[in-house]
Amino acid sequence: MSRSLTLLPLTLALAAALPTAALAADARKATITVGDTPLISRAALFGNPVKSGAQLSPDGQWLSWMAPVNGVMNVWVAPAAKPEAAKAVTDSKDRPIPGHFWSGNSEQLLFVKDNAGDENFRLYGVDVKTGAQRDYTPFDKVRVRMMGTSRKRVDEVLVGINNRDPRWHDVHLLNLKTGELKLVMKADGFAGFQTDEDLQVRMGARPNAAGGIDYFQVKDGAVADKPFLSTNLEDNATSPLGYTADGKTLYWMDSRDRDTTAVFAEDTATGARKLIAQDARADLGATLRNTLTGEVQAYAVDYLTTEWHFIDKSLKADFDWLQQQLGKGEVFVASRTRADDKWIVGIDPVSKVSATYLYDRKAKKLSPLYVARPELQNAPLVSMHAVEIKSRDGLTLPSYLTLPQGADKNGDGKAEQAVPLVLLVHGGPWARDGYGYNGTHQWLANRGYAVLSVNFRASTGFGKKFLNAGNKQWGLAMHNDLIDAVDWAVKQGVTSADKVAIMGGSYGGYAALAGLTFTPTTFACAVDIVGPSNLETLLGTIPPYWEAGKKQMYSRMGDPTTDEGKAILRAASPLYKADQIVRPLLIGQGANDPRVKQAESDQIVQAMQAKNIPVTYVLYPDEGHGFAKPNNRIGFNAIAESFLGNCLGGRVEPLGETVRASTAQIVHGADFLPGLKAAAEKK
């Protein structure tokens, strides 16, 4: 949820006389058959991929990727000329390594890892030749941030470490060969810094009272007395994109004097700006940069789908050739060598399994590396359809609809019969849904549900009017957008009004709680994953290193330091309307979540228990903000699938051993879901 700078008394009385089991029985009678589509196993969708995240070393000599070691995702390395000789260079046994990247000298592989989901990430490095591993930031309860890398000073990087004051990430110069850390400058009050190829801090960003950012010039560690650029809350998306290699040009994404952010090139000597790219539909900021000069070669427009526009025509020629070779779908470049002669590329065909390749630009040769999930190659995957939905007050909500095969036999995205629908709400809320392969969409559609993901107001990427229309609208207009999307789906014949579930994580979890409390009879049931129930306690327990973003969160949600703000937050908190819940609720929570603390789930469960309202609550003692371990991810989705099947009547793969194989603790409500108690109690 941070801006990584990635909630009728008469009805209640009726619900008391109509327990969950009765509602579920009615749903089972109304089960809709959607053809003879084979069931895709949850393990195939949510288990570990065979390989993922391939990268090339800057010198092009090495390949790396993520792959399991004894069931845990680790980093593997191979000579680029001999991928079959790959060896694991890490041996994490307790928790998957989330990803990795190369040092500038191509001698170290770097990665971060936390403890049981607490998000206190440490930075580690592995010497690819000797296999020696080093903990570069051996500090407890400290979170490291990467701040700068260089093509010139390849043995060093800049990192931010909050070991002096947990609120601020001081800038340190790290020597990757010796492990020496040297303090460059303290970060008191600063949200972040911009650095150049000489690993010099050139700019500091400090939040201001207007909910925006003040940008200061920095020279030799000294911060200028006055900002050279300031934004307010409305233009908070304005931010630097980085310097060219010579330091003479600074790229910006800027929304001032316009609605959507455009890309500008600023002459650092004169301050003169040149417009590089703009689009009235979507914010711009994603670019491809020259690997040597740092100049922008292409930019992406991501409205309903991603469209690449090329400034460098040679790059366009490569993309055109790759598209011709790889077929339908979005071509993506995951990694490039410094000489830019070799790329890691792939294609996202949405309804087919994507593959990853090594691309030799000079030889125009594609060498297959892997298919991340080969077990899905013959699976009945379906298409995703981009749609525009109008809100009640006239906003256009870019959204994504996936239909099960039996409901859309010709694949045109138009429902031929109404089926139950799952409204899948994204987190953030200052984030967005996008077009592409989505395992959750595929899973739910395979079970017989239509799936709808909506970019409601406050979602990012669609201009500042759209973003700022969500200010202080949690549980209000933001929730109305979701309801309007459900109404659209009913009118389109996608579903019927009594067969809609709401599901999501983080803000999406809040939306699920808000769905059952603010609109108690709109949804047949809800799945809340790590969602806040009380916005006052949410803001009161955010991690200390979010200090720089507090003002923006207060401005967008409600200021808990004022009576007016407290009233807004309280009115938007599902906790205080828990007694309104009349439909089945499933909650999943990580015990170590630093963003949405366990208390957020505990307190609404306790409030429901006090009113004898059924709720099923599953706690994972070794997880944080979401479920990173595949056994827990598969296990919770098994429970959610059984829950949705009980509520909406979709197809269900048996629970089997999935709950026992996870660390799930059924804190409350095992009896409310058939088979769950038996599936869990033998652990």
With CA atoms as reference, report the closest residue to 162 among 543, 541, 542, 545: 545
d(CA 467, CA 469): 5
Give the SS3 label for residue 207. Answer: strand
453, amino acid identity: S
The pair of three-digit structure tokens given for residue 450, joined into one six-digit string: 């239509």
26 is catalytic: no
d(CA 53, CA 366): 17
Give the SS3 label for residue 230. Answer: strand
172 is catalytic: no
Q: Write out the DSSP string of 395-428.
A: -EEEEEEE--GGG-TT-SS--SS---EEEEE-SS
341: left (phi over 0), alpha (psi -120 to 50) or beta: alpha
Catalytic site residue from 383, 506, 573, 642: 506
d(CA 490, CA 506): 26
Catalytic site residue from 625, 642, 662, 668: 625
Q: What are φ and ψ of residue 400, in 5° steps?
A: -135, 125
Expressed in percent and rounded to 5, the helix, strand and coil fractions of the chain are 25, 30, 45
Query: Omega into 38 within 30° of 0, i.e. cis?
Result: no
With CA atoms as reference, report the closest residue to 205 among 195, 218, 191, 217: 191
Residues 6+ apart with CB under 8 A from 59: 106, 337, 338
Check: CB of residue 466 under 8 Å from CB of residue 452: no
Catalytic site residue from 302, 408, 593, 622: 593
Helix (H) or strand (E) holding 399, with range, is strand 396-402
593 is catalytic: yes
Give the SS3 label for residue 632. Answer: helix
Alpha carbon 597 to chain centroid distance? Answer: 18
Strand partners, 665: 619
Please give the positions annotated as active site.
506, 593, 625
